[in-house]
Structure 1
Amino acid sequence: MSTSLNHEIRDMLMDCGLFVALTPAEFAAAAGYFSISSIEKGDAIFNEGDAGTFMCIIHSGTVSVRKLNGEGMAVETAILRSGRAFGEMAVLDGERRSATCVAASSCYLLNLGKDSLDKMLNEAPKAAAKIIRAIAVAMSKRLRMMDGQVVAQQD
């Protein structure tokens, strides 16, 4: 990977706000395991049921999360904005995608493949551990929010 691309990815990782626990050296190390993709509005990033081989962090743009309902119709469950990670559940647990994600606008994404995460765990374990912890904390916050919404709907 070119040095300038590595620096661009490092800066994008620092901008996203998800990995505040990383040191500058860990950001630089982690950057080598991520890639960047540009997605056009309306394009599917992945589909519900696909194998989960990568996760994304939105650098710019918005992503629509859709789930199939009982009638097989896609229902939008969320709009994700800059700084938000998605697709991480499948990367961590190896299960199939739980939803479809479509670019709601043109998007610039940071991608981390499952293979790259495994490689980072071996080669840069401190940075990888901090990244996995940050992802777990973000997922935990979302789950707690969902729990609160479920309780509010029952009142």
Structure 2
Amino acid sequence: MDFSELVQAIQTLNTEDAFRARLSLEQWRTIGPYFTQHDIRSGDLLIKQGDTDRSMYFLGRGSLQVFMTGGPPGSNKVAILRPGSVVGEPGVFHDGARMANVEAMTPCVVWALRGPRLEELAQRSPGLALELVRAAGGVMAARMRANMTKQLPIS
């Protein structure tokens, strides 16, 4: 899978929590080298609740499920993500523990943007890095609103 397929998936995902970066195709091409592609097998954890990791991930192919361990009954299933979705975006903003598990439901291709690479992008192209962070914040805000509506814990 090449990076342009991921960009297409991001741009066509039509969900409340879609990653809505205001970037041209040329700007995405500039950002692309800062991402790393990973193949994830069905059943493998991409993110483990409680771990610390300063990365956010973009789903290029496959489906991921987000779930929590512990908590009140019925609150463990959080979401199913489709191609174009971002996950783990809070890791860009803080060094705290991951709030949920993210598991591959099918074989997946994900693209990681790790904290140090985002910082490098910010040094070289601050406007592009700022747009990525703004869009990641938008995803977090949409998910927080949805969780508040469902009365799920935010922490």
C-alpha spacing 1:12/1:34, structure 2 compared with 1 (3 Å) = same
Q: What's the CA shift string for 1:5-45, capped at 9, x where partnerless?
A: 8xx32442243123441123311111110111110100111
Tell me which residue corresponds to 1:13.
Answer: 7
Q: 1:107 to 1:53 in 2, by over 3 A?
A: same
Pair 127,10 (structure 1): closer, same or farther in 2 beyond 3 Å: farther
Deviation at 1:96, TM superposition (A): 1.5
Q: Could you report, residue by residue, the CA deviation over 1:33-85 in whole angstroms, capped at 9, with x for unpaired residues?
A: 011111010011121111113111111111111211159xx933221111111
Partner amino acid for 2:37?
I
**Cα distance in 1 for residues equivalent to 2:89 and 2:37:** 16
Q: Among all aligned residue pairs of Structure 1 and Structure 2, give the percentage whose two residues are the same amino acid.
A: 23
Which residue type is aligned with residue 122 of structure 1? Q
Distance 1:70 1:14, change over 3 A: closer
Alignment TM-score, normalising by the size of structure 1: 0.82
Query: Closer, same or farther in 2 for the Cα pair 1:102/1:127, shift >3 Å?
Result: same
Partner of 1:24: 25
**Which structure 2 residue ranges, 5 or more long, are not aligned?**
12-18
Check whether the contact 2:6–2:84 (CA below 8 A) recurs between aligned residues.
no
What is the aligned partner in structure 2 of residue 114 from structure 1? Answer: 115
- Which residue pairs with 2:47 in the alignment? 46
Structure having the larger proportion of residues in helix: 1
CA RMSD of aligned residues (A): 2.2
- Taking structure 2 as the reference length, the TM-score comes to 0.82
Rg (Cα) greater in structure: 1
